[in-house]
């Protein structure tokens, strides 16, 4: 049976695309940026966009999987490094609130690698307080064939009271970084992605005749790598089913 997905901080739909490729179904999104929202509407015309995460309550449909890459500006080494309490990265508190209200079976989180020293303990503590067991790892885009590194934290959490297993991440055995390249290249179904990573020779900030060029580059820069989301999604779908229980 296909799992349903609620997508927070959707951007241009990187998580959504990857998890749909894995066999899941996106039932709603949450994005406030006008350009990114237009991209979502084009590719998911029948999926509602609930906009600002601060307006999402238990009134929305409960998904099996809740995913999102919350803002990294205050966590990234390229920013002012205010950490997870910063004005934008502080929206993690809203992410945690929505998790508590909707009680999904699984939570998927992505952020920059600097989260390790600027807020991961908060994320793990909040998830544990909500009853979720988490596994995480830094996985670069180059692990799935990209011609650049782009190291990011990927975290998978599942609801402990509904789960007799240690955790889905350990069961799937997909956190072993040294095996990522071989695992990916050995998967015939995934082989097609290796041909998608053709580096663009000139990513100029301005290009005559190309509308919304800066918006496109900004949204691409903020997007997650859908190939990694797909592999994580497949690992979840291939794991033993959750036992029924309270939750």
Report d(CA 151, CA 140) in Å as an integer.
4
What is the per-residue pLDDT for 122?
Answer: 94
Report d(CA 51, CA 42) in Å as an integer.
16
Which residues are CB-neighbours of 117 under 8 A, at least 6 positions away? Answer: none
Which residues are CB-neighbours of 187 under 8 A, at least 6 positions away? Answer: none
Distance (Å) of CA 60 to CA 7, 57, 130:
12, 6, 19
The residues annotated as belonging to the active site are 72
What is the per-residue pLDDT for 38?
Answer: 95
Parallel/antiparallel/unpaired status of strands 106-112 and 151-159: antiparallel
Domains of the chain, CATH where assigned: 4-238 (3.40.50.150)
For residue 206, give the nearest of 198, 214, 194 by alpha carbon: 214
What is the per-residue pLDDT for 103?
Answer: 96
The number of CA neighbours under 13 Å toward the Cβ of 100 is: 11
Question: What pTM was computed for the model?
Answer: 0.81
Distance (Å) of CA 57 to CA 19, 29, 63, 65, 67:
23, 13, 13, 16, 16
Taking only the tens of pLDDT, the chain with its 247 residues reads 689 999 999 999 999 999 999 999 999 999 999 999 999 999 999 999 999 999 999 999 999 999 999 988 888 887 677 888 888 888 999 999 999 999 999 999 999 989 998 899 999 999 999 999 999 988 888 888 888 788 999 999 998 755 434 444 444 444 443 344 444 444 444 444 444 555 444 555 555 555 566 788 788 878 889 999 998 998 888 876 655 544 4
Average of per-residue pLDDT values in the chain: 81
């Amino acid at each position: 049976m296909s799992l349903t997905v609620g997508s927070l901080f959707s951007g241009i739909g990187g998580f959504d695309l990857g998890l749909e490729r894995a066999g899941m179904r996106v039932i709603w999104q949450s994005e406030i940026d006008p350009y990114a929202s237009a991209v979502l509407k084009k590719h998911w015309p029948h999926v509602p966009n609930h906009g600002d995460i601060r307006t999402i309550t238990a009134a929305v449909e409960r998904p099996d999987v809740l995913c999102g890459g919350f803002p990294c500006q205050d966590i990234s080494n390229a920013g002012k490094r205010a950490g997870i309490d910063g004005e934008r990265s502080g929206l993690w508190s809203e992410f945690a609130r929505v998790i508590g209200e909707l009680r999904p079976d699984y939570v998927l989180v992505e952020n920059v690698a600097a989260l390790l020293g600027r807020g991961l303990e908060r994320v793990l503590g909040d998830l544990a307080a909500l009853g979720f067991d988490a596994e995480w790892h830094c996985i670069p885009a180059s692990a799935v064939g990209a011609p650049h590194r782009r190291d990011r934290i990927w975290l998978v959490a599942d609801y402990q009271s509904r789960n007799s297993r240690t955790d889905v991440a350990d069961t799937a055995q997909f956190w072993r970084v040294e095996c990522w390249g071989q695992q990916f290249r050995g998967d015939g179904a995934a082989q097609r992605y290796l041909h998608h990573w053709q580096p663009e020779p000139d990513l100029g900030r301005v290009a005559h005749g190309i509308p919304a060029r800066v918006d496109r580059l900004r949204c691409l820069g903020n997007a997650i790598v859908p190939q990694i989301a797909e592999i994580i999604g497949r690992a979840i779908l291939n794991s033993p089913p959750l036992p029924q229980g309270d939750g």
